[in-house]
Amino acid sequence: MVREVIKKLKEKHDDTTKALDPDVGCNKKVFVTAPTGMAAINIDGQTIHSYAGIFNNYVDWKFLANKNRNGKIGERLKRTRVLVIDEISMISCHLFDKVDNLMRDIRGNQKPFGGVQVIVLGDFFQLPPIADDEEDPEGLYAFCSEGWRKTFDECFNFSEVIRQKNDRFIRVLNNMRVGKLTADDERYIKSLSRPLNLPHGIIPVNLFSRKIDVENMNLSFFKKIKEHEEIYVAIRDVRNNQVKLLEKCQFPMQLKLKVGAQVMLLKNKDNKHVNGSTGIVIKFVELESTDKDGRLAKRNFPVVRFRDGDELPITDETWEIRDKHDIVLAFCRQVPLDLAWAATIHKYQGQTVDAGKINLKNGFSKGQPYVALSRVKTPECLQVLKFSPDLCKASPVVENYYIKTFGENYW
């Protein structure tokens, strides 16, 4: 459905007789975005941060407008006719308002998003935005923003399920989504704890709620590879004792790799290979890089064969957080990869997997069980571990929003 909407919009607005480069020419006017790299890959788009030039969440929109007004990002925002945002549940009200204000300023138009047609898609019963320690996640949904009601003229509730075909599985997932599981639903989900017997040596995707469980699973797979090990230690620095900011960096402090390791890219490399792209390490090559003292030195770097068949060397990249005055508060330089036999449920929202092994141990967020189980097309290819009915609760804030928008029978 999303792809068909995007196709029709591009046919109407884009000049498809020319190469569609987001940073060259004026032929591209429909921009497709999502909150995470993997969700963006799924719709051939880019992250909302990349589209709007938001290099970290702590910089205000006025600074970004001044910084990007006359560059490629400013030109991109000025020529946008349609902005599509997928997986809207993970977009916070702060980010929604920031992009709104930024586009109104750069485009010189005080209508919502500077007069651009905005189409958002997603399901607020899925994963919410990530909250900081002091924030209440229940107040962070995009529909809580100042500009939400001013932006949209119409809302539609789509009820047809496309990914799954099994009627009973669909019914259970729908009940789980809105936190209304029956006793029969619970028995059905518990029956899915049996081991999977998949053909052709297919290895299911291992999904966990928390990052620590992902790391332990990846380490167990990694130890089974009998190849030479390369070790990469991150170069990190902070200003004014802002050590806690480094916790927000996805780059591992120490990265160990071997030929045969399954990995995930943690930073956009180009328009095709972005945060969330996965592949296999096929070899190491010697390339020049800057050491911790700023001197050029030759080091071995991994070459990754991605799912699209492209083979790319991955060298170290910089991650940083700047304040509103563009001063660097925290800095990290590392090879932007991590092991990827397992992943968090958060990473896979919006994806479809052929087979999944879902471990709901340590679940902490509303929507996690539903998002995890609904990634898989058929129950025959799904294994569910550590299930508890207590995990399957819907957000009352979301429930109230759906009732106000679509009525009591929204589900």
pLDDT digits (tens, 9 = 90+) for 184-193: 999 999 999 9
Q: Are 14 and 139 within one domain?
A: yes
Domain final residue, candidates 151, 185, 220:
151
Would you put residue 326 in left (φ > 0), alpha (ψ -120 to 50) or beta? left
Strand partners, 147: none
Higher pLDDT, 410 or 356: 356
Average pLDDT, the chain: 88
pLDDT at 266: 85
Cα torsion for 46, 47, 52, 55, to the nearest 10°? -130
140 shares its domain with 110 = yes
Query: Is the pTM higher than 0.85?
Result: no
Residue 122's domain comprises 2-151
Specify if 134 maps to a domain.
yes
Whether residue 159 is contained in a domain is answered as no
Q: Is residue 162 part of a domain?
A: no
The domain that contains 101 carries what CATH number? 3.40.50
Whether residues 40 and 103 share a domain: the answer is yes
Q: Which pLDDT score is estimated for 6? A: 86
Report the DSSP pairing between strands 317-322 and 328-334. Answer: antiparallel
Confidence of residue 24 (pLDDT cuts 50, 70, 90): very low
**Which one has a higher pLDDT value, 119 or 308?**
119
Q: What is the pLDDT of residues 146-168, one digit of tens each?
A: 999 999 999 999 888 988 999 99
Q: Mark whether 9 and 59 lie in a shared domain.
A: yes
Q: Is the residue at 250 inside a domain? A: yes
Q: Report the range of poorest mean pLDDT among 97-106, 268-277, 298-307, 343-352.
A: 268-277
Q: Do 138 and 194 have their domain in common?
A: no
| 371 and 305 fall within a common domain | no
Instruction: Please indicate, yes or no, whether residues 250 and 117 belong to a single structural domain of this protein.
Output: no
| Residue where one domain finishes, among candidates 293, 308, 342 | 342
Half-sphere exposure (Cβ direction) of 98: Cα atoms closer than 13 Å: 20
243 is a domain residue: yes
Count of H-run helices and E-run strands, the chain: 12, 18
Among 5-14, 268-277, 364-373, the range with the most confident prediction by mean pLDDT is 364-373
* Co-location of 137 and 13 in the same domain: yes
Does residue 161 lie within any of the structural domains?
A: no
Residues 45 and 127 in one domain: yes
Question: Both 326 and 233 in a single domain?
Answer: yes
**Alpha carbon separation from 127 to 130, 209, 274, 391 (Å, rounded):** 9, 11, 21, 13
Residue 160 lies in a domain: no
On whether residue 11 sits in a domain, the answer given is yes
Residues of the chain with pLDDT > 90, as a percent, come to 57
* H/E run at residue 51: helix 48-52
How many domains does the structure of the chain reveal? 3
Is residue 318 located within the same domain as residue 354?
no
| pLDDT at position 25 over 60 | no
- C-alpha 95/C-alpha 117 separation (Å) is 18
Residue 228, CA distances (Å) to 252, 259, 366 in order:
20, 8, 42
Whether residue 311 sits in one domain with residue 232:
yes
